[in-house]
Structure 1
Amino acid sequence: MRTKQTPPEDAVNRYLKRKEAHVSKKTLYNYDTALTRFLEYLEERNITDMRDVDSDVIARFEEWRLDDVKPITCRNDMRTVKNFIQFCETIQAVPVGLHELVNVTKVNEDDEICDDVLTREEATAILDRLGKYDYASLRHIILLLLWKCGMRIGGLRALDLGDFDEGRPAVELRHRPESGTPLKRKDHSERDVIITPEAAEVVTDFINDQRPDVEDKHGRKPLVATKHGRTSRTTITKHVYLATSPCFYNGGKCPFDRDPDTCEATQWGHASKCPGSVSPHALRRGYVTAARNAGQPKDVTGDRVNMSGKILDKHYDKGSHDEKAERRRDYLRDI
């Protein structure tokens, strides 16, 4: 079958359009991000026709990517590129069978595990700082609920005003894909998460004093809201990166010898450039580790954060060997 002249950007746009109908917005975003990097690579090498993309070009893209990202990230990117190349075969943009020559980055077990974690001490310092200077603000609510509940961003975004039960107190996570807030494991992610009266008081004060009286485009009233409606994943992430930068919560002292007055990472939207800041998922890992160190049973922790014991052990429990040994102390018997 003869191939046709196809600009790489056109091929990517057609691929994403095809995927749009049957993948989540987050998955589509991940595809778009990976293929944007691929397009950047091709542009740097003046490749303007997919017919000039061969297995060597793709292999060199993998090498180029590994200079900037961890193997686990490169693996995900290469999986997307391989699937994209397979799509390109169907539109006669590249030779049939090219995708079979694409090698997906191999990672060892250690590379699969992300070690970014917010410790209990760091979380306490951050929440203390927010409680003193940004009480019941949007940022305070985001950090408070992510830490205290160990939930995913998707769960936090899914909460409506009616999902906060002040009396129990608890937050109720529900899967509502038809109105834009699916949960990762769909109905299996639905649960009620008990919170402390102290945390509930902050949420109540946010609702009464800080939360804008808005609805989202589906007519729902989001709990975590801005004046534009339901808070986006990007906004939540920016708040977390900023609040977890050490100079934000330790009195303005930078452990990396930077000047906070001129450091780009102290600016809104750039805090991810701070070596000490972490993503929202690091709070989830931190909560799991802190809960297990405090003696909370694995099954209770797993049910609370909607996670299997196997995944909890492999990817989320970041306790040291000493901490895990201490957890076992009360269960030991002299035999």
Structure 2
Amino acid sequence: MKIENAIQIYVEHRSSELSQQTIEAYEYRLRFFVEWCEENGLEEIENVSKKDVHDFLQHRKQDLAKTTYKANTDTLRACLRYIEKLDFAEEGVHEVAESPTLTDSENVRDDIVPREKAEQILNQLDKFRYASKEHALFQIFWETAARTGAVRGLDVEDYNAEQQYIEFHHRPEYSTPLKNADNGQRLVSLSSPTCVVLDDYIAENRLDTQDEHGRHPLLTTPNGRIAANTIRKWSYRVTCPEFYAECDCGKNTNYKYECENSVGAHAWRRGAITHWLESDKPKEVVSDRAQVSERILEKHYDGRDERTKMEQRRQFFTD
């Protein structure tokens, strides 16, 4: 069997249980393996040896950060293990793709939109871009700590203005899955100020359009539902200090991702979660609202330093 065909079988096997964004990440990582095999004269998956896998990973290790290398190795290992189970590949070939061990510091993402920065950005949007789609987007991000895929998948009907909440739904058949599938479906309450922004956005600035499935997206562009890449670009733009203050990056407004102070959309999620924890919100409540386990929350989303945690604990142990 051709290598690319075997990999496609694995990807299709996982597609029913993973979000489209995750599947695309898998395809991107595995593409390098296919290309390397082609460059080295390997066409059939049954001809890929353990040494071939070893040589490929040594080649990839030279170009990747340790965390990225681990993600690539883990994806390849899982893929080869599944292909082995189908008797398409050499037995035990997946075992060569050993997952590297990361230290706690290596395994934590540092990108974050801290409370002060989020407030400056939202204030700037409130003054100069009130009820714009950007204003609505980042108001939702900060209020809900939702993932990009969840926010872009919102329809107008998912917003309940009267009772002040939004609903996140897993709709893989309509190209808007949630990361945790049905387990990610939930209702999230909204504050009155956020609802005012959303009400005015819908009434004045939302484009009355449909996506390719006939649904009515909450966040729209002239092409229909907002794209994940557009959300990332907007985040890079507004998180550059030049948007709300001053920045010496000197970059053109179309390329704010080059500014070292700019961050992607996921940093809003980490910032909102950290803000809630700093405000003494119980971890189990934060976990439910953000749809993340307490273990993952502590490892990847809690941006508080140790002194801040100590001072928060102090109030419970003083006389």
TM (norm. structure 2) is: 0.85
Aligned to 2:228: 233
CA contact (8 A) 1:71 1:106 kept: no
Partner of 1:292: 277
1:107 and 2:98 matched = no
Deviation, 1:127, is: 1.5
Which of residues 244, 250, 265 in structure 2 aligns to 1:249?
244
Give 1:70 shift.
3.2
The answer on 1:332 being equivalent to 2:317 is: yes
Pair 1:48-2:41 in alignment: yes
Secondary structure (helix, strand or coil) at the match of 1:172 reads strand
Q: Secondary structure at the match of 2:214?
A: coil
Provide the C-alpha distance between the structure 1 equivalents of 2:187 and 2:17, rounded to a whole number of angstroms: 29
> Which residue of the partner structure matches residue 289 of structure 2?
304
Do residues 213 (structure 1) and 208 (structure 2) align? yes
**Match 1:260 to one of 251, 264, 268:** 251
CA contact 1:59–1:103 (8 Å) conserved in 2: no
1:164-203 equivalences under 5 Å are: 164-203=159-198
User: Is there any run of 5+ residues in structure 2 with no aligned partner, and where?
Assistant: none
Letter in 2 for 1:185: N
Contact 2:19 2:178 in 1 (8 A): no
Deviation at 1:301?
Answer: 1.9
Q: Match of 2:310, as an amino acid?
A: A
Which stretch has the larger CA shift, 26-35 or 9-18?
A: 9-18
**CA–CA distance in structure 2, aligned partners of residues 168 and 88 of structure 1:** 49
Question: 1:25-69, CA deviations, whole angstroms, 9 ceiling, x for partnerless residues?
Answer: 2232011110223345456xx323246754444334434434444
In 1: Cα distance, 2:298 partner to 2:203 partner: 39
Deviation larger for 281-290 or 234-243: 234-243
- The SS at the match of 1:242 is helix
Deviation, structure 1 residue 284: 1.0
Measure the CA separation in 2 of the matches of 1:302 and 1:89: 37
- SS of the residue 1:109 aligns to: coil
Offset, 1:176 = 3.5
The 3-state SS of whatever aligns with 1:188 is: helix
Establish whether residue 70 from structure 1 lines up as the match of residue 65 from structure 2.
yes
Q: Partner of 2:130: helix, strand, or coil?
A: coil
CA spacing shift, 1:178–1:36, aligned 2, 3 Å: closer
Identity %: 32
Are the equivalent residues in 2 in contact too, given 1:146–1:284 (CA < 8 A)?
Answer: yes
Q: CA deviation at 1:223?
A: 0.8
1:263-296, Cα deviation, whole Å (9 max, x unpaired): xxx42xx543432222222111111111111222
* Residue 204 (str. 1) matches residue 195 (str. 2): no
Given candidates 11, 26, 37, the residue that maps to 1:31 is 26
Cα distance, 1:156 vs. partner?
0.8
Residues 163 and 172 in structure 1, CA contact (< 8 A), matched pair in contact too: yes
How many aligned positions are there? 317
What amino acid sits opposite 1:47 in the alignment?
A: N
